[in-house]
Amino acid sequence: MSQTKVYIKDTVLIIAGIFSVAMGLKGFLLSSHFIDGGVTGISMLIANLTGWSLSVMLPLFNLPFLILGYYQIGRSFAIKSALGITGLALCIAVVPFPDVTPDLLLTAIFGGVFIGAGIGLAMRGGAVLDGTEAAALLLSRRSSLLRVGDIILVINVFIFGAAAFSLGVDVALYSMITYFGASKAIDFLVHGIEEHTAVLIVSDHAETVRLMLTEELGKGVTVLKGQKGYGKRGHHREATDVLYTVVTRLELSRLRDAVELIDPNVFMIQHGIDDARGGLVKGRPLH
């Protein structure tokens, strides 16, 4: 894909993300005083308590994280994110959105879905509309004990605790529903419904398994050269082929059944991966 096409695709994704997040905020959450997690949630909480404009709070509270992102992640990321957050603030300020429903549960769920979908679209475009992810990534790089998900969880515990204290327990609980809905929507947009799984296969019938994977299931296979190391001291070191393949979550059960039919004593390891590019996935080349 040419650089121009990549730029156009990223721009379209970020703009779509901006309007989706704005719809989640103005069409659902703001009228009910619910909040989201992360920097957006902090901005909404302070806007609720002070009456200040959310369109001013969003760029203001995201600015420190954008500066850190510029130096630690990259110029392109920081510029795209700054334009995306500025565009979101302008969209909230000037674009009218209908207040969709007075039902609090529907507001919490669909507000979160729209916000999560928007953040996910922007992430696919190479930007973030909330600085929490960037901050968590930077902190995790500085400590091997801290993971991105753990940092985001701790941040949101404080945010929703403050919301319970200042806005009421009911609002905080509904806001947590919003956050969970947003998280699921982000996962769906970023990773897709067919999450990829890497499978490592050690079998005495490696060639038969390889042929089955490539010819019957249409999967790409990488053959790794290894040695068995069983026994108390690992002395029984026999040469063996180790098969490595990537399948979607929906194909995993079929693969396991087919391999175990060939070799009931097969040793398999599987682990989830965020993405897979190139090679053969779903039985066809990815370009």
Instruction: Let me know whether 267 and 154 are in one domain.
Output: no
Separation of alpha carbons 133 and 77, rounded Å: 12
Whether residue 247 contacts residue 178, with contact meaning beta carbons closer than 8 Å, is answered with: no
Residue 166 pLDDT > 50, yes or no? Answer: yes
118 and 222, same domain (yes or no) = no
Same domain, 215 and 151: no
Do 18 and 127 fall into the same domain? yes
Tell whether 126 and 205 lie within a shared domain: no
Residues 207 and 269 in one domain: yes
What is the DSSP track for 159-207? HHHHHHHHH-HHHHHHHHHHHHHHHHHHHHHHH-SS-EEEEEEE-TTHH
**Based on the domain organization, do 55 and 160 belong to the same domain?**
yes
| Domains identified in the chain, total number | 2
pTM for the full predicted model = 0.72
Question: Of 191, 210, 227, which one is at a domain's C-terminal end?
Answer: 191
Q: Per-residue confidence at 287, pLDDT binned at 50, 70, 90?
A: very low
Contact indicator for 198, 244 with CB cutoff of 8 Å: yes
Report whether 243 contacts 228 (CB < 8 A).
Answer: no
Please answer whether residues 248 and 281 qualify as being in contact, where contact means their C-beta atoms are separated by less than 8 angstroms.
yes
pLDDT given for residue 23 in this prediction: 95
Q: Are 25 and 140 in contact (CB under 8 A)?
A: no
* Residue numbers of the domain that contains 57: 3-191
163 lies in the same domain as 251: no
Looking at residue 18, what is its pLDDT? 94
pLDDT of residue 1: 57
- Judge residue 124's burial from the number of C-beta atoms within 10 Å of its C-beta, 0-12 exposed, 13-18 middle, 19 or more buried: middle
Check residue 88 and give its pLDDT: 94
- Same domain for 180 and 206, yes or no, is no
Lowest mean pLDDT of 16-20, 94-98, 124-128, name the range: 124-128
Position 129 scores a pLDDT of 87
My answer on whether 57 and 111 are in the same domain is yes
Average pLDDT over residues 187-211: 81
Same domain for 13 and 33, yes or no, is: yes
* pLDDT of amino acid 192: 63
Q: Do 108 and 224 share a structural domain?
A: no
pLDDT at residue number 284: 46
Average pLDDT over residues 102-106: 92
Q: What is the CATH number of the domain that holds 255?
A: 3.30.70.120
